[in-house]
């Protein structure tokens, strides 16, 4: 299946979400790896990764991860990107050998743009803002690929003409293995299908 734009689905904590997204043609799957609530252990991630092919895997870094865990996860060939916020980038950027997806908001952009040469920032994952300035998006997207929340797109039919690289969606937990409601993902992904 082909989608009209690049899609990253974050917060993947179960095989059901991962396989559904892969089948729908999602490009990037983000995994919150760790031992805190809402995260999955690295061993579970490896099991999921063994059952899913197609998408590129992203470590959604959390400050609960210690340096040894970070090294173990980033040395895994399954992980191709790391997602950080600006404070984490400033602290860890020189220790990271993976391309970076930077979580940010528009107000941080002036600080961030001066660091694009210093770090390997592949994507800018923007947080939800009250309104989107498409002229500003166009300027930023010329420097680094922008991903914005799906909810920020007013008319999904116009997605290909927007000055962004793609959209952001979130996975959700499942009640028990195999029992999952995909409505929130299905609505977005089906609207992006290329026919």
pLDDT tens figures, 118-158: 888 899 999 887 678 899 899 989 989 999 999 998 888 88
Separation CA 12–CA 22 (nearest Å): 12
User: pLDDT tens, 33-45?
Assistant: 998 898 999 999 9
What the chain holds in terms of domains, given with CATH numbers, is 6-192 (3.20.20.70)
User: pTM for the whole thing?
Assistant: 0.92
Helices of type H across the chain: 15-23, 42-51, 67-74, 86-92, 109-113, 134-143, 183-192
| CB count in 10 Å sphere of residue 91 | 11
Which residue ranges of the chain lie beneath pLDDT 50? none
Please tell me the distance from the alpha carbon of residue 145 to that of residue 167, in angstroms, as a whole number: 11
DSSP 128: P
For the chain, give the mean pLDDT.
Answer: 88
Output the six-digit token pair for 192: 């992006």
């Amino acid at each position: 299946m082909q989608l009209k734009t690049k899609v990253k689905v974050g917060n993947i904590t179960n095989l059901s979400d991962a396989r559904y997204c892969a089948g729908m043609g999602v490009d990037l799957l983000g995994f919150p790896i760790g031992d805190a609530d809402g995260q999955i252990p690295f061993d579970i991630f490896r099991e999921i990764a063994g059952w899913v092919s197609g998408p590129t895997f992203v470590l959604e870094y959390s400050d609960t991860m210690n340096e040894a865990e970070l090294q173990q996860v980033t040395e895994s060939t399954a992980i191709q990107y790391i997602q950080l916020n600006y404070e984490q980038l400033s602290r860890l950027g020189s220790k990271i050998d993976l391309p970076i997806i930077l979580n940010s908001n528009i107000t941080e952009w002036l600080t961030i743009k001066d660091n694009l040469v210093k770090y390997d920032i592949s994507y800018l994952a923007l947080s939800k803002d009250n309104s989107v300035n498409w002229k500003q998006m166009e300027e930023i997207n010329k420097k680094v690929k922008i991903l914005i929340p799906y909810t920020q797109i007013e008319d999904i039919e116009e997605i290909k003409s927007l000055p962004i690289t793609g959209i952001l969606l979130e996975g959700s937990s499942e009640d028990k293995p195999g029992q999952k409601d995909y409505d929130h993902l299905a609505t977005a992904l089906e609207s992006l299908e290329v026919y």
